Structure 1
Amino acid sequence: MLSTTSDDNHYLAPTVVESVKILVVGSFGVGKTTLIGSVSEIDPLRTEETITEASEGIDAVDSTPEKTTTTVAMDFGRITLTDEIALYLFGTPGQRRFWDLWSGLAEGAAGALVLVDTRRLEDSFEVLDQLETRTSLPFVVAINQFPGAPNYEPEQIRTALDLDDETPIVVCNAKNRNACVRALAALVRHALKTH
């Protein structure tokens, strides 16, 4: 017999009546894998591979020299957001050469959380374009606060990324579980309002 205890979150609580698929997107090295790992109540599935010299000149690794691995297919995790709602998180690869996977990952999703690094805002343009051209998902922009990164007001980010007034912008730290949960809750509220 399967049981759910406070020490074992492998199984959904019997109170969960709604499962929601969420896409977590962003450019290379913006913190998608970290965010899913921070909030997932199950051991997250990761498809990480070591970055090799073969990617030199193909992947923009200059701004993330400490990064040694990269997602090549997807990340997957689960979080019970409320007693009745569980979110299934699907993290997309950040490199353009893996973007063909996005269409399949987006199928059936209720919305997308777009992670942004203020040190490399220009990297977000292609991500937003990819999201808007390959999906019709509502999305929330989450500013991932990296140490030493410039701080901007959400309205400055809205202007820089040319976002609609209706697109919510939240601030989070992908390593902070509570901040990530708040960002995901903002996305769920926005998706419900949009649908």
Structure 2
Amino acid sequence: MAQASVLTDTEIRRVFRIIETTRHAERNRLAFTLSIFAGLRVGEIAALTISDVATPDGNVRREIKLDAHQTKGSKGRTVVLATRVRKEIEAYLKARSVWRHDSPLIASQRNGRAFSTVSLSMLFKEIYETAGIRTSSHSGRRTFATRLNARGVGMRTIQKLMGHRNIGTTALYCDVSDETMRNAVELV
């Protein structure tokens, strides 16, 4: 099976523009943001509750503590949230009129329940196709790792952020562009 594409900055902007035209733009924007700027797997996004991302008084957490049942491989992990992601979560929670702390963060508007991994993957695929990008829901995660690598973040740090057990798995996520190689040799 082919690896998911690494999205360019232009493609990321295009996806955000497409999301703004979708029926549930705020929800879809947050799901995409969590994928592309936090490196969460689709199943992890689907499993999030409001209490995972916000304190009881409504403040957005700096880190998400994922339990084993929320992750691949049944191994809990900590996801560190960038300021941009925290602001997106905050805006999303403010826009939601009513919510309970144990509610799913990304919920179906139809029934209020959490998306399944498959349903959320299909939503991502539909958004990507509308944006003219042929890829899978895993593109956000690959893009997250590749962008960190291109900015000089060490592979061990990326491994921890991705929640990988094996650094070799992390290396497979990091695409190296010609521009990255040109920039690297200029550091010598």
TM-score, normalized by length of structure 1?
A: 0.27
Structure with more of its chain in helix, by fraction? 2
TM-score, normalized by length of structure 2?
A: 0.28
Higher relative contact order (CA 8 A, sep 6+): 2
Structure with more of its chain in strand, by fraction? 1
